[in-house]
């Protein structure tokens, strides 16, 4: 998720842009840059941190950007802003231009010269192609050509204004006195103004020193919007008003999943041929791999092994007709990279699932699926986990299609189901108040148990991991059928047991397991779409009804929120739990 800023007014644009970009550092980035108008458009950009930008030029009109790579590896030439061929137009962009290859080919045929590997650069050249002395008109025509998601901010050396466009990517306007701002998020300009207008999808804004005009994509005027007064502190604003990054990221999941699916659907390299799969990962990513195992075995009818990356190195090589999948949020997890090296040397076909373009893991695999969830600041993985689940489900569907295991109609039905996931998750997030009440009943317990079967056994493991890593409560996840093989001895009166009860072939067995722990006076929280489960538990958290193989998405959101609220009630450092790091880069 990139950070965008734009400024027009009387202050030093250099100072405003650099300060504003620093305020957006929490979004994560791999490169940074600014463009300032002073007779011409001057640009400074490079891979690395904002503090490494060194330049002497200044002015009172400019744009800035921090980039999180999605197209093109992190390099100076792929950093924003981008210029047109003449150097008269500069743009910054957040999102994905799905038709950029078609547009780029047309523009190259017309003589345009590109300097980067990004999808974003096509925007500058498209505006140039349409420019005939009216910047706004050229900008509108260019925007109408684009397919995908975007927040675009552009400047032209010949006209003192900023143009901005929004579709499925955030943009907000900061209204000042004889100055105006545009940015990806409010904290960018909160030091200068707390008067805000939130742009809506399908809107264009035109900013001058003294006024902001709004249009639709066809250029029709939109009536002046109400200005909102924001009373957040700057620190609060960086979290969009949420008390912690973790909660913010939990609530970002519908957008992260939608963005991931859009990215995956654009792939045209999903032909596979293998007889077995090995999935390798650590921590939360390992749990995603376990869910993937159940799904791949179900859809493709082939065996799948799942290994902790730290244990993978001790297994014998298995090469013949084998695909190895490596899952790592950061792409820098040392154990997972070591495992990928081993698989590559052994001759396996390899695939990585990661959230970071150009990360180290990509150098050791044949293909990469990017989750496109945006940067995740909280140490406890939330939106990257559900994005990994989505990537694995999409992989299984496309592999089944290419290997003749699924019919065209089956693939179409599966893909249509995937499109519903963001809404299922959004509806689950509406249960936040109910889940918080449950957390208040259980947060003082020293032990908890999470149980599930089949695809929801890994979700029980993930729920237990979330609880222990941010609340420091001892929590264990178990296959529900294993209770009588040991864990049942630990069940005492009042101990919370969180039971995941999807409406699938495990339903009746799960009810039997619930009766087992209830007979020992455990406090049972049922998570299910079936109201009848309420007859057997102390509390039912009723989740949305989904297709059977999508239940992990809604169930894990409940467990994320339960862990979050328990940790908050205990006063824990939720975003930075003790002894843990976001990316484990040593073995």
Known catalytic residues? 2, 582
Q: Which H or E run contains 236? A: helix 234-238
Contact 215, 137 (CB under 8 A): no
Bridge partner list, 566: none
Sheet order of strands, 447-452 included: 474-479, 447-452, 496-500, 523-528, 539-542
Q: What is the DSSP letter of 68?
A: -
Contact 161, 135 (CB under 8 A): yes
With CA atoms as reference, report the closest residue to 512 among 457, 555, 451: 451
> Residue 524: phi, psi to the nearest 5?
-100, 125
Tokens 């490169």 sit at which residue? 31
CA distances for 210 relative to 4, 8, 161, 171, 175, angstroms: 21, 9, 10, 19, 9
DSSP result, 410-456: HHHHHHHHHTTHHHHHHHHHTTHHHHHHHHHHHTT-SEEEEEE-GGG
Bridge partner list, 539: 525
Tokens 């904002």 sit at which residue? 50
With CA atoms as reference, report the closest residue to 317 among 339, 290, 285: 339
With CA atoms as reference, report the closest residue to 42 among 63, 15, 68: 63
Pairing of strands 367-370, 349-354: parallel
């Amino acid at each position: 998720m990139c950070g965008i800023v734009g400024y027009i007014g009387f202050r030093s644009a250099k100072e405003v842009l650099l300060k504003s970009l620093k305020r957006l550092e929490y979004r994560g980035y791999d490169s940074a840059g600014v463009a300032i108008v002073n007779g011409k458009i001057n640009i400074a950009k490079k891979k690395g941190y904002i503090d490494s930008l060194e330049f002497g030029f200044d002015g009172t009109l400019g744009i800035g950007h921090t980039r999180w790579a999605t197209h093109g590896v992190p390099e100076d030439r792929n950093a924003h802003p981008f210029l047109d061929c003449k150097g008269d137009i500069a743009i910054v962009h957040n999102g994905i231009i799905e038709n950029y290859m078609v547009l780029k080919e047309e523009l190259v045929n017309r003589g345009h010269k590109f300097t980067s590997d990004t999808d974003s650069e096509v925007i500058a050249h498209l505006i140039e192609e349409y420019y005939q002395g009216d910047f706004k008109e050229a900008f509108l025509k260019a925007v109408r050509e684009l397919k995908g998601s975007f927040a675009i901010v552009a400047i032209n050396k010949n006209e003192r204004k900023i143009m901005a466009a929004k579709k499925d990517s955030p943009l907000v306007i900061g209204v000042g006195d004889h100055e105006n701002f545009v940015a990806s998020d409010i904290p960018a300009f909160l030091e200068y103004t707390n008067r805000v207008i939130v742009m809506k999808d399908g809107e264009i804004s035109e900013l001058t020193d003294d006024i902001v005009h709004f249009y639709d994509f066809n250029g029709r005027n939109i009536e002046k919007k109400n200005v909102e007064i924001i009373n957040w502190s700057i620190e609060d604003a960086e979290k969009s008003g949420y008390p912690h990054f973790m909660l913010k990221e939990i609530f970002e999941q519908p957008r992260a999943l939608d963005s991931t699916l859009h990215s995956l659907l654009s792939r045209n390299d999903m032909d596979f041929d293998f007889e077995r799969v090995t999935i390798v990962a650590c921590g939360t990513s390992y749990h995603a791999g376990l869910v993937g195992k159940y799904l791949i075995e179900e859809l493709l009818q082939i065996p799948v092994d799942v290994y902790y990356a730290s244990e993978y190195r001790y297994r014998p090589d298995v090469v013949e007709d084998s695909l190895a999948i490596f899952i790592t949020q950061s792409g820098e997890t040392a154990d997972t990279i070591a495992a990928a090296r081993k698989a590559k040397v052994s001759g396996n076909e390899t695939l990585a699932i990661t959230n970071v373009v150009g990360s180290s893991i990509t150098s050791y695999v044949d293909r990469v699926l990017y989750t496109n969830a945006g940067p995740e600041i909280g140490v406890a993985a939330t939106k990257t986990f559900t994005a990994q689940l989505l990537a694995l489900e999409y992989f299984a569907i496309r592999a089944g299609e290419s290997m003749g295991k699924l019919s065209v109609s089956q693939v179409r039905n599966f893909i249509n189901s995937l499109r519903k996931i963001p809404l299922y998750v959004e509806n689950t997030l509406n249960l936040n108040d109910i889940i918080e009440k449950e957390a208040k009943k259980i947060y003082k317990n020293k032990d908890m148990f999470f149980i599930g079967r089949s695809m929801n056994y890994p979700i029980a493991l993930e729920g237990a991991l979330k609880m222990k890593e941010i609340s420091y409560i001892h929590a264990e996840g178990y296959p529900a059928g294993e209770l009588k093989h040991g864990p049942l001895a630990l069940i005492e009166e009042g101990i919370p047991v969180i039971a995941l009860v999807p409406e699938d072939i495990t339903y009746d067995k799960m009810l039997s397991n619930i009766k087992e722990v209830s007979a020992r006076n455990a406090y049972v929280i049922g998570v299910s779409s079936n109201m009848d489960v309420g007859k057997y538990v102390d509390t039912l958290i009723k989740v949305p009804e989904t297709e059977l193989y999508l239940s992990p998405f809604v169930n894990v959101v409940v467990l994320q929120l339960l862990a979050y609220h328990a940790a908050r009630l205990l006063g824990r450092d939720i975003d930075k739990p003790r002894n843990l790091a976001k990316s484990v880069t040593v073995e």
